[in-house]
Amino acid sequence: MTVPQRLLNKVAIVTGSSSGLGRAIALAYSHEGARVVCGDLRPESRPHVVEETAMNTDELIRKNGGSAIFVPTDVGDTEKMECLVNSAVSEFGRLDILVNNAGISVEADDPRPLHTTPNETWDLTMRVNARSVFLGAKFAVTQMLKQEPHRPSGDRGWIINISSIMGSIATEGNPFYCASKGAVSSLTRQIAVEYAKYRIHCNSISPGYTQTAIFAETTGSGMTSLDDLRRKHPFGGPGKPEDIAKFAVVLASDDAAWVSGANMFVDGGYTAR
């Protein structure tokens, strides 16, 4: 029995696609039939995760028989984000899914209390983590309102913003990261309410501790330890990027036809304690 691809005939943009969660989501989307536009500063992955360095995300998708392009993108830059959306339309004719995934945690390897954190850390963190979500949604919605709804659902678009459990809880030494992810979760709800009448879905995912390059920096800085994380997770430890990607597929599919404005915790039970 052939399992139907849940994202067949959909065009998806994934920012921060070269590494970590973005790479896993882009690969999962392609596996489910989507044509993928990979946006990142550079196509190469970050060197922290060795298994990601063999082949760029878009190249791997094409090698596996999928359709993908790479568009160099500074997610905090207005023109670059507009170009990213325009590139999707130019290459594939439309845009159905946007995953605002790109993010940074300057504080991961330099944790400090708020009163000693440089102003520049705030500016950079909000530019990449929050402004990028605003820009991505702005240009994606503009395109989604222009085009014909997706068939057969009749929906015009799916926006998935990657927030964090740190947008809802707090941890020492990360004031600006927590603030930026709180902004992502809040903006998600507003977009969902504003554009529901146009059949545009907007949801966010709040990952817990997940084994990415940022995770390597966090554990390497001494902020937390693997043993401590294993104790705090009811499922026994941090997750993998694929755990987040699976849920990102659901939120971009008809399986979530009646879901919008939600912030989904995918965290191995961390926030349930």
Residue with tokens 């950079």, as numbered in its chain: 124
Q: Cα 35 to chain center, whole Å?
A: 17
* Contact present, 207 and 162 (Cβ < 8 Å): yes
Active site residue 270: no
| CB half-sphere exposure, 244, CA atoms < 13 A | 31
Token duo for residue 47:
């060197």
E strands in the chain: 11-15, 35-40, 68-72, 97-100, 157-162, 200-207, 263-266
* Contact present, 273 and 215 (Cβ < 8 Å): no
- Which of 29, 177, 209, 270 is the catalytic position? 177
What are the residue numbers of the active site? 177
